[in-house]
Amino acid sequence: MTSLPPSFKPRQFDIAVVGAGLTGKACALGLAQLGLSVAHIAPAQNQPLPEPESGHWGQRIYAFSPSTQTLLKKIQIWDALELSRLQVVREMRIFGDRNGPQDQLHFSAFEAGTPQLAWIGEANLIEKTLDQASRFQNKLEHIDALVKQLEFADTQVKLILDNQAEISVKLVVGADGARSFIRDLTGITVKQAEYQQSAVVANWLCEYPHLETAYQWFLGNGDILAMLPLPGKQVSMVWSTSTQNAATLLSLNEASWAAQFADVAHGAVDATLGSLRLNSEPAAFPLSKIRAAQMIGPALNPQVVLVGDAAHVMHPLAGQGLNLGLRDVASLLQVLEKRESFRQINDPILLRRYERQRQGDTSALLWVTDRLKKLFSAQSSFEQGLRNWGLGFVNRSHLLKRRLIHQALGETHFE
Ligand SMILES: Cc1cc2nc3c(=O)[nH]c(=O)nc-3n(C[C@H](O)[C@H](O)[C@H](O)COP(=O)(O)OP(=O)(O)OC[C@H]3O[C@@H](n4cnc5c(N)ncnc54)[C@H](O)[C@@H]3O)c2cc1C
């Protein structure tokens, strides 16, 4: 990391990527690999990332879709990952809240004609590998700072940092998460709704093998409980529940957790995974839905693009937020890589191309996750009947199932 002295004069880069989450890191590396000079601006992380090689498993466990694998292969990260830390998912089983034998949806990689439906792994496994690759990329400079201000000129943007340093670039990528400051400074508005829910996450050692299967139970009161397989006899739990119940869950001891699992989903958690032993400190994350009105800005002369949670945040029930963000990155890389030789990287036509490419995928996923969340929270017996019948109906429809699988795989043409 470079710490810039206060008297630092504006330096020129092609692009500034702001934010060092997974999307920011992947984007900065990918852009530098295209031969563009990149300033990657983000405050140094307070805590070092836990070593993926240690006996502990990180708290942030994600489902990675094949579209994420495609991007990570393109930027030469996938093959450098410690694959023993990734669990392949070959089956997904989703259960309704009525306990009817037909109220379930089953996806299988075999049926879909794909080797796996997803991988489950730690965010920091990928972050570490991205950090290592970035150190060898001489077009990429890390700047340990926060962005305080943006000044837009005709073809350049000046970024004023909190260490008083200034840098000048043609294009800014806002990868600074749900509360994106870059989005605000660019004047891009958002539509936002709080779900009044938090996701409680924890890793558990399970008695029975998980059979490379991701399980999800809709619990009827708006709660959704997912158990995602990890290597060995271990699962990662994501339990979306009311903010109040999340606080209760966080205070449970192991015996009370066991009672909870015996109680929920008509005992199916116990029956499927056997007894569970806590293998990480539970944590809770508040859940909301955010959609930026535009993915590029300012309106008249766009010089900023948004990627990842800066552009869209969704309910984690489909495990797709990060995958969608990395598809933004893949799309931006493709648009810039394939640009006509006479176009600058901040040509509004290119930026609009990027925004157009991302529209359909983003709208579809935000819509589907939000509708599912609402349908499974509704209390009327009509909606209860509808959602449970719907699961069985989709399960019996080969065509619908295939479409859903291919949407979830995030099949793209970004190669
Ligand atoms: C419980 C839960 C489970 C989830 N599970 C999945 C899953 O299984 N699969 C999946 O695909 N997605 C999942 N998601 C979604 C996923 O967590 C997010 O979509 C993803 O982390 C967003 O990454 P990001 O890089 O866009 O933003 P972030 O990870 O929020 O990173 C933003 C970065 O910007 C930095 N920053 C902020 N402000 C500034 C500034 N002014 N200047 C410089 N830097 C700044 C921050 O320090 C941070 O490093 C889940 C979410 C939750 C809550």
Strand 283-292 relative to strand 213-218, pairing? unpaired
The whole model's pTM is what? 0.92
- Calculate how far, in angstroms, residue 309's C-alpha sits from the geometric centre of ligand 1: 6
What pLDDT is attached to residue 410? 63
| Residue 66 belongs to a domain | no
Q: Are residues 276 and 360 in the same domain?
A: no
Question: Which residues are CB-contacts of 313 (< 8 A; sequence separation ≥ 6)?
Answer: 178, 288, 289, 290, 321
pLDDT per residue of the chain (415 residues) written in tens, 0 to 9: 455 555 556 899 999 999 999 999 999 999 999 999 999 999 987 555 556 556 678 888 999 999 999 999 999 999 999 888 999 999 999 888 777 777 778 888 888 888 999 999 999 899 999 999 999 999 999 999 999 999 999 899 999 999 989 999 999 999 999 999 999 999 999 999 999 999 999 999 999 999 999 999 988 888 999 999 999 999 999 999 999 999 999 999 989 999 999 988 888 899 999 999 999 899 999 999 999 999 999 988 999 999 999 999 999 988 899 999 999 999 999 999 999 999 999 999 999 999 999 998 899 888 888 887 777 777 777 777 777 777 776 777 777 777 777 766 766 544 4
Q: Are residues 168 and 258 in the same domain?
A: no
Q: Are residues 254 and 150 in the same domain?
A: no
Q: Are residues 231 and 278 in the same domain?
A: yes
| Residue 337 belongs to a domain | yes
| Residue 5 belongs to a domain | no
The parent domain of residue 339 ranges over 11-54+125-191+290-373
Q: Are residues 269 and 366 in the same domain?
A: no
Q: Are residues 43 and 154 in the same domain?
A: yes
CATH number at residue 157: 3.50.50.60
Ligand 1 mutation pick, 87, 119, 176, 305, max ligand atoms within 8 A of CB? 176
Ligand 1: which residue has its CA nearest to atom 15?
321
Q: Are residues 242 and 355 in the same domain?
A: no
Ligand 1 mutation pick, 241, 322, 362, 369, max ligand atoms within 8 A of CB? 322
Q: Are residues 259 and 303 in the same domain?
A: no
Distances (CA, A) of 368 to 102, 263, 361, 371, 375: 22, 29, 11, 5, 10
Residue 19 near residue 5, CB atoms below 8 Å: no
Q: Would the CB of 181 count as within 6 Å of ligand 1?
A: yes
CATH number at residue 100: 3.30.9.10
What does DSSP assign to residue 241?
Answer: E
Q: Are residues 161 and 218 in the same domain?
A: no
Q: Are residues 239 and 216 in the same domain?
A: yes
Q: Would the CB of 323 count as within 6 Å of ligand 1?
A: yes
Q: Are residues 340 and 389 in the same domain?
A: no
Cα separation, 367 vs 383, whole angstroms: 18
Ligand 1 mutation pick, 62, 120, 185, 326, max ligand atoms within 8 A of CB? 62
Q: Are residues 333 and 352 in the same domain?
A: yes
Phi and psi angles of residue 88, each rounded to the nearest 5 degrees, phi first: -75, 140
CA geometry: angle 52, 43, 11, nearest 5 deg: 125
Domain count, the chain: 2
Closest ligand 1 atom number to CA of residue 240: 1
